[in-house]
Amino acid sequence: MTELAAPVRASVAAPVPGAGGVAPAARGRGAATSGPAEADWSAAVAAIREHAPAGRVLLICHVNPDGDALGSMLGFGLGLRRMGVSQVQATFPGEFEVPEPFVALPGMDLLVPEPQAYPDPDLVIVFDVAAESRLGGLVDRLAPAKAAVVLDHHASNTGFGGINLVDAEAAATSVVAEELLSRLGVPLDAGIAECLYVALATDTGSFKFDMTTPRVHEMAARLIATGIRPGDISRRIFDTRPFGAMKLFAEVLARAALDPTAAGGHGMVWTHVTQADLERHGQRPYVMDALIDPVRTVAEADVAVLVKQLGEAEWAVSLRSKGAVDVSAVAVAMGGGGHRLAAGFTGYGTPGDVVVAVREKLDQFLI
């Protein structure tokens, strides 16, 4: 399988696409507009070679982890195991609940709840986290470590790690993870590949979004060449949900509202989902995350907004654009972050308050 993958790899292993023309010096903290500098790749490889083999390694991804966060973290963790690293833990902040579609991912045995994570790791590696706020209480683990390496692909990444491998042109954090494994000399196996594939498929919307470049399909080809089953994986991750979730979706979609005059006439569609909705249908919070997908299909709206209840007057807000608005600018202005066409923030008040606030910000950030 490795033989099959090798020639494909060679065509993209040379200078990282997107890195051309940008001097390493121009890529400072917080200015992540292209691939990591060679010096940062080398520093990450050196830190892992120095601290991982005999040390405690803690892998961390963002709160409320998605397929890219979990997949890139667990895939990399399995890669470290293949290197012979014996003390590896993976964790994320907050409630220790893995969304049902991901519970069968290889490498799940690496996962521990936040309170059980090494208090004093030698090496910390962070996945898919744009800002320290997304690390919750686990941010404490970074300072005591001998090295803290951040793998990410958010343009808004603040450069909070000691070593930052941030590629804003990568479709998923797993693209960065695969490159780092390759530079460490770790070959792909089916377990690693399944994790990285789930991450890549999640963040490209099943290879549908604009960032689905030749580089993405080349990576998918390398992963599939290990023998993984894309059909089975996609059905499990994207196309399976409990009956109660389907009934919940029907209710939440029925209350959606559309204003074609919002966002400078590009249109906005929105809806919200409450804790009571979840309870009524016996569903866990993760099922809310998939609801943005049907909302964003609405032809009359460039912008889709899903307001998901977190607490009494606290809401996780998902923003999507088809291209007329930079929703990451809206999210950052509201204290969150993300990408140009997919972003989020935490809002307060009623769902109506949150929607009004988004509408007000939208006109400022038309592309």
Interacting residues with ligand 5GP (CB under 6 A): 130-131, 134, 318, 336-339, 342-346
Least distance from C-beta 225 to ligand 5GP, angstroms?
28
| Long-range Cβ contact pairs of 14-23 (< 8 A, separation 24 or more) | 16/167, 16/179, 17/169, 17/213, 17/215, 18/167, 18/169
Q: Which does 56 bind (CB under 5 to 8 A by kind): ligand 5GP, Mn ion, none?
A: none
Nearer to ligand 5GP, 89 or 346 (CB): 346
Phi-psi region of 87 (alpha: psi -120 to 50; beta: other; left: phi over 0): beta
Least distance from C-beta 242 to Mn ion, angstroms?
25
Question: If binding is defined by CB under 5 A, does position 302 make contact with Mn ion?
Answer: no
Cα–Cα nearest to 288, from 304, 306, 261: 306
The CA distance from 255 to 218, in Å, is 41
Least distance from C-beta 127 to ligand 5GP, angstroms?
11
Alpha-carbon distance values, 142 to 31, 77, 132, 145, 206 (Å): 21, 18, 10, 6, 33
The CA distance from 295 to 304, in Å, is 6
Cα–Cα nearest to 176, from 16, 63, 49: 16
Q: Which does 150 bind (CB under 5 to 8 A by kind): ligand 5GP, Mn ion, none?
A: none
Nearer to ligand 5GP, 134 or 272 (CB): 134
Q: Which does 68 bind (CB under 5 to 8 A by kind): Mn ion, ligand 5GP, none?
A: Mn ion
In the bound state, the residue with its beta carbon closest to ligand 5GP is 344
Per CB under 5 A, contacts with Mn ion among 9-68 are 68
158 SS3 class = coil
Q: Which two tokens stand for residue 162?
A: 């000691």
Q: Which does 339 bind (CB under 5 to 8 A by kind): Mn ion, ligand 5GP, none?
A: ligand 5GP
Per CB under 5 A, contacts with Mn ion among 149-178 are 173
Least distance from C-beta 245 to ligand 5GP, angstroms?
17
